Structure 1
Amino acid sequence: MNDSDGRADGGARNAVAAAEGGAGRRGDGVQSVERTLDVLEALAAAGGQLGLSEISARTGLPYGTTHRLLRTLIDRGYVRQDADRKYALGAALLRLGNATEQLFGSWAGPYLARLVELSGETANLAVMEGDAVVYVAQASSPRWLRMFTEVGRRVLPHCTAVGKVLLAERTDAECAALLRRTGLPRHTASTITEPAAMLAELARVRTAGYAVDRGEQELEVRCVAVPVRHRGEVIAALSVSGPASRMAGHDLRTLVARMHTVAEEFSAEVLGRG
């Protein structure tokens, strides 16, 4: 092979590589990965099932591309196809979710400990899973009389401070739909049980930037929660809870400001500013 042939061959290879790189990337990401994530996020955002045409429309992907991605995701268990031929998230995602929650909880440990130090009360980290709030980490108060919520416990969001914080980032229409699905069962005389009253409470949470549980889940227990934001979205809630008599001794404005600082540092230092 002469030099000119080598240069021609090399030029052809470079042209192909450039074309593949252009077709395979969007911005700084790999296009096929981004498209796969687009499909999964579309299904997650729908909160249920979607047909092929609906997924294609939501993601902006061609039918053929969407179908190929779905077939691969089905083969790996991350998506399932139901009898009506609609698609939904698959059980394989649970493995990732459980592992992520465990890591998330362990990362939060030092920050929860700081909340305990500044408040003297029990601190929790919670996330939303479907229509329920799940507690994923806790640091206990050193006091003899303290609050205890089992890690892994699932509760409805309407009667907890963490639940209110997580709901408040959704639109009124989304919140109303969730409340219709779950109802607003009463736990104490303080539990909010009317949808209109709950929507008004969530509006206050949005404005204030924090939520309070005034004995709505358990009698004589008071809880304050703030959001953990990442890339502009609320992904979790941090809370401090204790007996109502002791919590009343805190200056709420000061406590909330310190909790916001811890939440912001957790997001920046652990999750990154990306």
Structure 2
Amino acid sequence: MTTTARTASGGVQSVERVFELLEVITASGGEMSLSELSAAANLPLPTIHRLLRTLVPSGYVRQLPNRNYALGPRLILLGEAAGRQFGSSARPMLDGLVAQLGESANMAVLDGQQVVYIAQSQSSRSMRMFTEVGRRAPTHNTGVGKAILATLPDEQVRSIVAAAGMPTPTEKSLGTPEELFADLERIRERGYAIDDEEQEIGVRCFSMAVPGAPTPTAISVSGPVSRVDEDFGRRAVPLLRKAAEAIAAELRPARS
């Protein structure tokens, strides 16, 4: 291999460019024209063409009828496997939250306009919260959803809620963008989110975003309002922060 094929960090340049291309398409919403790809990736058209000649036949990128390029179906399998592994790597931290707080702990990621739960550690109490791994939920009325939204630019938040709508399953649910943005401002100031019976009456949840996660991610602890009160929150917040930082450390690339 020639030295020009390697980056200064010792990596293989063509491999790095492939992942850069996939990330550019992902950031765009999943579809781009050739000229848009070239401009966004800051790569010459011949290089883009060469990479696509490998990615399209392999199924990692597909060409649409309008000649634009989109993420391919083979990435679904990789994403599902990565999500399972991501959730598995966080289980010790979630288990630790349950052991210290006695309530169920969850982890979720943003997927399109919703959150999807990818890991859970259940409380041993007879009356406890249970969320099925793989379940999808709105962002605006869940603790994990609001913790994630608080990390995003306002324009992206508006786009998400405009596309998904703002259903109000309880009388405490946030039903307008104005209410949501006011709550997001409070979340940004204090560093954590609260779902105060907004998704289900009688259930309260404290949640915190995982800093620096490769996809917007949050963890939470939830249970009946009779036990998950202000005193619980004072104990839960520093433990959530410690767990979120531990998960973030697990996700950092290893240095060679």
One fold, TM greater than 0.5? Answer: yes
Which segments of 5 or more consecutive residues in structure 2 lack a partner in the other structure? none
- Given that 2:150 and 2:187 are in contact with CA atoms closer than 8 Å, whether structure 1 keeps it comes out as yes
- Summarize the alignment of residues 9-158 of structure 1 with structure 2, pairs less than 5 Å apart: 20-158=2-140
Moved more, 250-259 or 53-62: 250-259
Q: Aligned equivalents of 2:170 and 2:54: distance in 1?
A: 48
- Which structure carries more helix by proportion? 1
- Given that 1:221 and 1:241 are in contact with CA atoms closer than 8 Å, whether structure 2 keeps it comes out as yes
Q: Which residue of 1 aligns with 2:191?
A: 209
- Given that 1:166 and 1:234 are in contact with CA atoms closer than 8 Å, whether structure 2 keeps it comes out as no
Q: Which residue of 1 aligns with 2:252?
A: 272
**Match status 1:259 vs 2:240:** yes
- Given that 2:208 and 2:241 are in contact with CA atoms closer than 8 Å, whether structure 1 keeps it comes out as yes
Return the offset for 1:29.
2.1
Q: Give the counterpart of 1:164 among 112, 136, 146.
A: 146
Superposed CA RMSD in Å reads 1.6
Letter in 1 for 2:226: S
1:230 alignment partner, SS class: coil
Return the offset for 1:26.
4.4
Cα distance change of structure 1 residues 41 and 26 upon mapping to structure 2, 3 Å threshold: farther
Return the offset for 1:273.
6.2
Q: Aligned equivalents of 1:234 and 1:32: distance in 2?
A: 23
- Given that 1:39 and 1:55 are in contact with CA atoms closer than 8 Å, whether structure 2 keeps it comes out as yes
1:266 alignment partner, SS class: helix
1:137 alignment partner, SS class: strand
Letter in 1 for 2:133: V
Return the offset for 1:23.
3.8
- Given that 1:101 and 1:136 are in contact with CA atoms closer than 8 Å, whether structure 2 keeps it comes out as yes
Q: Which has the larger radius of gyration?
A: 1
Moved more, 182-191 or 246-255: 246-255
Query: May I ask how many residue pairs the two structures share in their alignment?
Result: 254
Identity %: 45
Q: Aligned equivalents of 1:101 and 1:26: distance in 2?
A: 31
| More RCO (CA 8 Å, sep 6+) | 2
Q: Which residue of 2 aligns with 1:5?
A: none
- Given that 1:169 and 1:234 are in contact with CA atoms closer than 8 Å, whether structure 2 keeps it comes out as no
Q: Which residue of 2 aligns with 1:8?
A: none
Which segments of 5 or more consecutive residues in structure 1 lack a partner in the other structure? 1-16
TM-score (normalizing by structure 1): 0.88
Q: Aligned equivalents of 2:242 and 2:88: distance in 1?
A: 19
Runs of 4+ more than 3 Å apart: none
TM-score (normalizing by structure 2): 0.94
Q: Aligned equivalents of 1:26 and 1:191: distance in 2?
A: 51
- Given that 2:98 and 2:123 are in contact with CA atoms closer than 8 Å, whether structure 1 keeps it comes out as yes
1:43 alignment partner, SS class: helix
Letter in 1 for 2:239: R
